[in-house]
Structure 1
Amino acid sequence: MLRLPSDMDQFLVFPETLLASCLERGQFIHLSAQVVSYIADIDQLTKLHQHEQLLCPDYLKQAKPSRLNEFFAGRIVAQAILKQHFSCMTALTSRSNKLPIWPQGLSGCISHTQNKLLVMVSAQYLSVGADLQEQIQPEMAKQISSLILTSAEQQLWHHFKTELDFSEYLSLIFSLKESLYKAVFPVVNSYIDFLELCLVDIDLTRRIAQFEFCSKIQKNYPVLKRYSAQWQRYDEYVISFALV
């Protein structure tokens, strides 16, 4: 695997033939009229590029093959979306913080879990956040609930337990919070704990939720008081997204 220098912005340029074929291996997902989203199997995308000598960022030089496959799959699909849907030929930039730097006027997000990949790009929003989440197993949900849900959120579940079992509820809130963290990261540029963001309203029919950051986060960072996040079901996955 070829590596790029670590002391510069690292532009990843992929072969045109690779970009042209990768979206055919994925599926367009309609999440919002203002975003372009694709979901794909990482294994299928890996087969497309496995014989290419792709340049690898320095921070991934010790990465396992599975991590490299996730990385390249996400960046290749993102680059293909930019080219096909936005007529943007600018190569994505990868810096030492490991996050993609999107071309001016565009925002995007890459999420993956197991063998699935989700990429979302928008020209209408300053920032977007997306999360692809499998349902957390019931025993694990009980073990980690206090790390994900505030006491108010744990109590709120009792209003929905006839529609969602606890592991479904926890998986949904986890995913929604993940999408919001990604959406506000360009502003906050810092780690936020799951308990510093609290669900204040949720509509299971419209599949939209409202969250508020705790007073400490609101005081220390230029965030809004309230944010919205939405979700859809895709097979056994939850796809959550936040548009800012």
Structure 2
Amino acid sequence: MASAVFPACDGMIARISGDHDRLLARSRGFFVNVELHDPRMPDAILVHGRFDLESYTEDLFDELAIETPVSLSRALPIRRAEFLAGRAIARAALHMLGQPAPQIPIGPDRAPLWPPGSAGSISHARGHCACFAIADGTCQAGVDVEATASGHALEALLSTTVDDDERALIARQSALSPDCLVTLLFSAKETLFKALYPTARHFFGFDCAQLRAVPRDGRLRLHLTRTLCQELPKGERFDVSFEITAGHVLTWLAVRRYDASI
């Protein structure tokens, strides 16, 4: 496991080490690795895991104490494996924060239902999973992990995710390769949607947020191009955190709940 690179008390370090070892042992090879990343904020955990689809078996739900939702009873094994991986690291993340770690069911809008006093988000893609969890019920969270796109997948992202101004920005910058920046932009917009959906309460497209400057220092700023609701007006800006690893990008964002008393 990657060591925690952010301030943590001895109790948290012990929980992290113990949860990591138990998760790997009980998964019987399903989890290949589980790493911690710096969430860049207090009272938060950012976990990135790799899992092996070939090692997935149905009894891992019982072994990892994850309930199988009825909606997944007829799902393909790959979908069930992704759900298992995401929920397993989410429960581990909550425990690392010292939070109660019950089941995390699927809500009516398909988003995870987090325990009171906490917030979080889950993502998975091609054998990778991520969870960003916060021990603060006045927050909303978004996280996304993506494999760096190429070929037809890259062309699809360019046609669905990137507008003309963003395409021009990508072409003239040299800080990141085009395939990496396009994937990063897609991931950041996915993360933004997850973080803002509880406030907007409706689906909105990639054209509702725009990148206007080259990302730097692990931050990518998105501008809302239209008003999503009274609390999210056109022009509002959000700085999405990111990390780039070999073949993948990881993005995350925390925002204050607009109905929370602060």
Q: Give the structure-2-normalised TM-score.
A: 0.75
Partner residue in 2 for 1:27: 35
Q: Does the alignment pair 1:70 with 2:82?
A: yes
- The aligned amino acid for 1:30 is D
Aligned length: 224
The answer to whether the Cα contact below 8 Å between 2:142 and 2:194 also exists between their aligned partners in 1 is yes
- The aligned amino acid for 1:98 is R
Partner residue in 1 for 2:100: 88
Q: Does the alignment pair 1:242 with 2:253?
A: yes
CA distance in 2, matches of 1:192, 1:90: 31
**75 and 102 in structure 1: CA distance in 2 versus 1, 3 angstrom threshold:** same
Helix, strand or coil for the counterpart of 1:163? coil
Give 1:143 deviation, angstroms: 4.1
Q: Does the alignment pair 1:203 with 2:222?
A: no
Give 1:50 deviation, angstroms: 2.4
Q: Extract unaligned runs of 5+ from structure 2.
A: 1-17, 26-32, 256-262
The answer to whether the Cα contact below 8 Å between 1:31 and 1:37 also exists between their aligned partners in 2 is yes
Helix, strand or coil for the counterpart of 1:94? coil
**89 and 208 in structure 1: CA distance in 2 versus 1, 3 angstrom threshold:** closer
CA distance in 2, matches of 1:152, 1:129: 25
The partner residue of 1:154 within 128, 146, 167 is 167
- The aligned amino acid for 1:130 is V
The partner residue of 2:193 within 165, 173, 181 is 181
**64 and 198 in structure 1: CA distance in 2 versus 1, 3 angstrom threshold:** same
Report the aligned-residue RMSD.
2.7
CA distance in 2, matches of 1:138, 1:51: 35
CA distance in 2, matches of 1:68, 1:150: 34
Q: Extract unaligned runs of 5+ from structure 1.
A: 1-16
**143 and 64 in structure 1: CA distance in 2 versus 1, 3 angstrom threshold:** closer
CA distance in 1, matches of 2:61, 2:153: 39
Identity %: 20
CA distance in 1, matches of 2:176, 2:96: 39
Which protein, 1 or 2, shows the higher relative CO under an 8 Å CA cutoff with sep ≥ 6? 1
Q: Give the structure-1-normalised TM-score.
A: 0.80
- The aligned amino acid for 2:23 is C
CA distance in 1, matches of 2:146, 2:101: 30
Give 1:40 deviation, angstroms: 1.5
Render the CA deviation track for 1:129-152: whole Å, top value 9, x for unaligned: 111111110443234413111111
Helix, strand or coil for the counterpart of 1:56? coil
**18 and 159 in structure 1: CA distance in 2 versus 1, 3 angstrom threshold:** closer
Helix, strand or coil for the counterpart of 2:144? strand
- The aligned amino acid for 1:137 is S
